[in-house]
Protein backbone atom coordinates (compact mmCIF):
# COMPACT_ATOMS: atom_id res chain seq x y z
CA UNK A 1 0.00 0.00 0.00
CA UNK A 2 1.08 3.57 -0.67
CA UNK A 3 -0.57 6.97 -0.54
CA UNK A 4 -1.30 9.26 -3.46
CA UNK A 5 1.57 11.46 -2.22
CA UNK A 6 3.98 8.61 -3.18
CA UNK A 7 2.84 8.35 -6.83
CA UNK A 8 5.49 8.25 -9.56
CA UNK A 9 5.28 7.91 -13.35
CA UNK A 10 5.38 4.24 -14.36
CA UNK A 11 4.05 3.02 -11.01
CA UNK A 12 1.40 0.27 -11.30
CA UNK A 13 -1.72 0.54 -9.13
CA UNK A 14 -4.41 -2.06 -8.50
CA UNK A 15 -7.81 -0.35 -8.62
CA UNK A 16 -11.05 -2.34 -8.52
CA UNK A 17 -9.19 -5.55 -9.43
CA UNK A 18 -7.51 -4.06 -12.52
CA UNK A 19 -3.91 -2.95 -13.05
CA UNK A 20 -3.28 0.67 -14.11
CA UNK A 21 0.05 2.33 -14.99
CA UNK A 22 0.47 5.96 -13.90
CA UNK A 23 1.35 8.01 -17.01
CA UNK A 24 1.15 11.49 -15.44
CA UNK A 25 0.25 12.90 -12.05
CA UNK A 26 -0.10 16.37 -10.59
CA UNK A 27 -0.52 17.47 -6.97
CA UNK A 28 -3.03 20.33 -6.82
CA UNK A 29 -3.48 22.63 -3.79
CA UNK A 30 -6.43 24.91 -4.48
CA UNK A 31 -6.95 28.13 -2.48
CA UNK A 32 -10.09 26.66 -0.93
CA UNK A 33 -10.73 23.05 -0.06
CA UNK A 34 -8.44 20.08 0.41
CA UNK A 35 -5.49 19.20 -1.81
CA UNK A 36 -5.93 16.47 -4.45
CA UNK A 37 -3.92 14.49 -6.98
CA UNK A 38 -4.94 14.46 -10.64
CA UNK A 39 -3.65 11.44 -12.58
CA UNK A 40 -3.71 10.05 -16.11
CA UNK A 41 -3.59 6.24 -16.05
CA UNK A 42 -3.42 3.47 -18.66
CA UNK A 43 -5.06 0.06 -18.18
CA UNK A 44 -2.26 -2.52 -18.44
CA UNK A 45 -4.44 -5.15 -20.15
CA UNK A 46 -6.69 -3.11 -22.50
CA UNK A 47 -4.52 -0.02 -23.08
CA UNK A 48 -7.48 2.26 -22.23
CA UNK A 49 -6.40 5.66 -20.82
CA UNK A 50 -8.44 7.43 -18.13
CA UNK A 51 -8.16 10.54 -15.95
CA UNK A 52 -8.73 9.93 -12.23
CA UNK A 53 -8.63 12.31 -9.29
CA UNK A 54 -7.71 11.21 -5.76
CA UNK A 55 -7.87 13.17 -2.50
CA UNK A 56 -4.34 13.89 -1.24
CA UNK A 57 -3.11 11.22 1.17
CA UNK A 58 -5.62 8.58 0.01
CA UNK A 59 -4.26 5.03 0.31
CA UNK A 60 -3.86 3.20 -3.01
CA UNK A 61 -2.84 -0.40 -3.58
CA UNK A 62 0.38 -0.73 -5.55
CA UNK A 63 1.16 -3.79 -7.61
CA UNK A 64 4.49 -5.33 -8.48
CA UNK A 65 4.99 -5.75 -12.23
CA UNK A 66 8.16 -7.55 -13.24
CA UNK A 67 9.63 -6.28 -16.54
CA UNK A 68 12.43 -8.43 -17.94
CA UNK A 69 14.33 -8.36 -21.21
CA UNK A 70 13.76 -11.73 -22.83
CA UNK A 71 14.60 -13.41 -26.11
CA UNK A 72 11.78 -14.50 -28.43
CA UNK A 73 12.45 -18.16 -29.30
CA UNK A 74 9.57 -19.49 -31.40
CA UNK A 75 5.82 -19.63 -31.97
CA UNK A 76 4.07 -22.67 -30.49
CA UNK A 77 0.54 -22.86 -31.96
CA UNK A 78 -1.10 -19.58 -30.92
CA UNK A 79 1.44 -18.95 -28.15
CA UNK A 80 4.89 -17.37 -28.20
CA UNK A 81 7.82 -18.75 -26.20
CA UNK A 82 10.31 -16.32 -24.63
CA UNK A 83 13.48 -17.08 -22.66
CA UNK A 84 15.22 -15.11 -19.94
CA UNK A 85 18.86 -14.74 -21.05
CA UNK A 86 20.22 -14.84 -17.49
CA UNK A 87 18.26 -17.68 -15.87
CA UNK A 88 17.28 -19.52 -19.10
CA UNK A 89 13.70 -19.76 -17.76
CA UNK A 90 11.13 -20.03 -20.54
CA UNK A 91 7.72 -18.38 -20.47
CA UNK A 92 4.78 -18.97 -22.82
CA UNK A 93 2.87 -15.82 -23.78
CA UNK A 94 -0.59 -16.06 -25.43
CA UNK A 95 -1.08 -14.35 -28.82
CA UNK A 96 -3.69 -11.98 -27.30
CA UNK A 97 -1.03 -10.61 -24.91
CA UNK A 98 1.59 -10.23 -27.67
CA UNK A 99 -0.91 -8.33 -29.85
CA UNK A 100 0.44 -6.20 -32.70
CA UNK A 101 4.05 -6.78 -31.60
CA UNK A 102 3.81 -10.10 -33.49
CA UNK A 103 4.05 -8.22 -36.81
CA UNK A 104 7.61 -7.09 -36.05
CA UNK A 105 9.09 -10.01 -34.04
CA UNK A 106 11.79 -12.27 -35.44
CA UNK A 107 13.11 -15.37 -33.70
CA UNK A 108 16.01 -14.63 -31.31
CA UNK A 109 14.98 -10.96 -31.07
CA UNK A 110 14.96 -9.24 -27.66
CA UNK A 111 11.75 -7.84 -26.16
CA UNK A 112 10.60 -6.69 -22.72
CA UNK A 113 8.02 -9.05 -21.19
CA UNK A 114 6.00 -7.69 -18.26
CA UNK A 115 4.52 -10.18 -15.81
CA UNK A 116 2.38 -9.89 -12.68
CA UNK A 117 2.34 -12.87 -10.30
CA UNK A 118 3.56 -15.09 -13.16
CA UNK A 119 0.87 -13.94 -15.63
CA UNK A 120 2.20 -12.20 -18.78
CA UNK A 121 0.67 -8.72 -19.17
CA UNK A 122 2.26 -7.28 -22.30
CA UNK A 123 5.25 -7.48 -24.65
CA UNK A 124 7.21 -4.32 -25.45
CA UNK A 125 9.46 -4.19 -28.51
CA UNK A 126 12.26 -1.67 -29.11
CA UNK A 127 11.02 1.59 -30.71
CA UNK A 128 12.34 0.44 -34.10
CA UNK A 129 13.47 -2.82 -35.71
CA UNK A 130 15.39 -3.68 -38.87
CA UNK A 131 13.60 -6.08 -41.21
CA UNK A 132 14.08 -7.26 -44.79
CA UNK A 133 11.51 -6.71 -47.54
CA UNK A 134 10.55 -10.16 -48.89
CA UNK A 135 8.21 -8.89 -51.61
CA UNK A 136 7.31 -5.59 -53.25
CA UNK A 137 6.46 -4.58 -56.80
CA UNK A 138 9.61 -3.75 -58.81
CA UNK A 139 10.55 -0.08 -59.01
CA UNK A 140 10.13 1.68 -62.36
CA UNK A 141 12.53 4.06 -64.05
CA UNK A 142 11.83 7.55 -62.73
CA UNK A 143 10.65 6.47 -59.25
CA UNK A 144 12.17 8.85 -56.72
CA UNK A 145 12.23 9.07 -52.93
CA UNK A 146 9.97 12.13 -53.01
CA UNK A 147 7.21 10.26 -54.87
CA UNK A 148 4.44 8.11 -53.46
CA UNK A 149 4.49 4.82 -51.62
CA UNK A 150 3.76 1.19 -52.40
CA UNK A 151 2.97 -1.83 -50.20
CA UNK A 152 5.85 -4.11 -49.17
CA UNK A 153 5.76 -7.43 -47.30
CA UNK A 154 8.41 -7.84 -44.57
CA UNK A 155 10.14 -11.07 -43.49
CA UNK A 156 7.74 -11.29 -40.51
CA UNK A 157 4.72 -11.23 -42.84
CA UNK A 158 3.67 -7.68 -41.92
CA UNK A 159 2.80 -5.28 -44.74
CA UNK A 160 3.92 -1.64 -44.62
CA UNK A 161 4.04 1.31 -47.03
CA UNK A 162 7.50 2.09 -48.45
CA UNK A 163 8.84 4.59 -51.03
CA UNK A 164 8.56 3.55 -54.68
CA UNK A 165 12.33 3.10 -55.24
CA UNK A 166 12.78 0.25 -52.69
CA UNK A 167 13.13 -3.31 -53.98
CA UNK A 168 12.77 -6.85 -52.65
CA UNK A 169 15.75 -7.81 -50.46
CA UNK A 170 16.29 -4.29 -49.07
CA UNK A 171 16.67 -3.98 -45.28
CA UNK A 172 14.49 -1.23 -43.77
CA UNK A 173 14.01 0.33 -40.35
CA UNK A 174 10.39 0.13 -39.10
CA UNK A 175 8.71 1.96 -36.19
CA UNK A 176 7.16 -0.80 -34.02
CA UNK A 177 4.53 1.52 -32.50
CA UNK A 178 2.70 2.40 -35.74
CA UNK A 179 4.37 0.26 -38.44
CA UNK A 180 5.73 3.23 -40.37
CA UNK A 181 8.82 3.15 -42.61
CA UNK A 182 11.77 5.02 -41.03
CA UNK A 183 14.52 4.50 -43.60
CA UNK A 184 16.84 2.13 -45.41
CA UNK A 185 19.54 0.17 -43.59
CA UNK A 186 22.87 -0.29 -45.35
- What is the pLDDT at residue 141? 62
Of 99, 106, 113, which Cα lies nearest the Cα of 69?
Answer: 113
Percent of the chain with pLDDT over 70: 95
86: helix, strand or coil: coil
The CATH superfamily of 128-185 is Nucleic acid-binding proteins (2.40.50.140)
Name the residue ranges covered by the structural domains of the chain: 2-62, 66-124, 128-185
CATH code of the domain occupying 2-62: 2.30.30.30
> Are the folds of 2-62 and 66-124 the same?
no
Express each pLDDT in 41-86 by its tens digit: 988 877 789 999 999 888 999 888 888 999 999 999 889 999 998 8
CATH code of the domain occupying 66-124: 2.40.50.140
pTM equals 0.69
Percent of the chain with pLDDT over 90: 32
> What is the arithmetic mean of pLDDT over 135-156?
78
Categorize the per-residue pLDDT at 144 as very low, low, confident or very high, splitting at 50, 70 and 90. low
Query: Which residues, 6+ apart, have CB-to-CB distance to 90 below 8 Å?
Result: 73, 81, 82, 83, 84
> What is the arithmetic mean of pLDDT over 4-13?
86
> What is the arithmetic mean of pLDDT over 132-153?
78
Amino acid sequence: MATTNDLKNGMVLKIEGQLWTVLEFQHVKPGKGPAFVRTKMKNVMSGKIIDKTFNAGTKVETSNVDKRTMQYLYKDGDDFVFMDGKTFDQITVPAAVVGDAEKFMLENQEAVVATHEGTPLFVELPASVELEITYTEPGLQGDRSTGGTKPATLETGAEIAVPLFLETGTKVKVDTRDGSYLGRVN
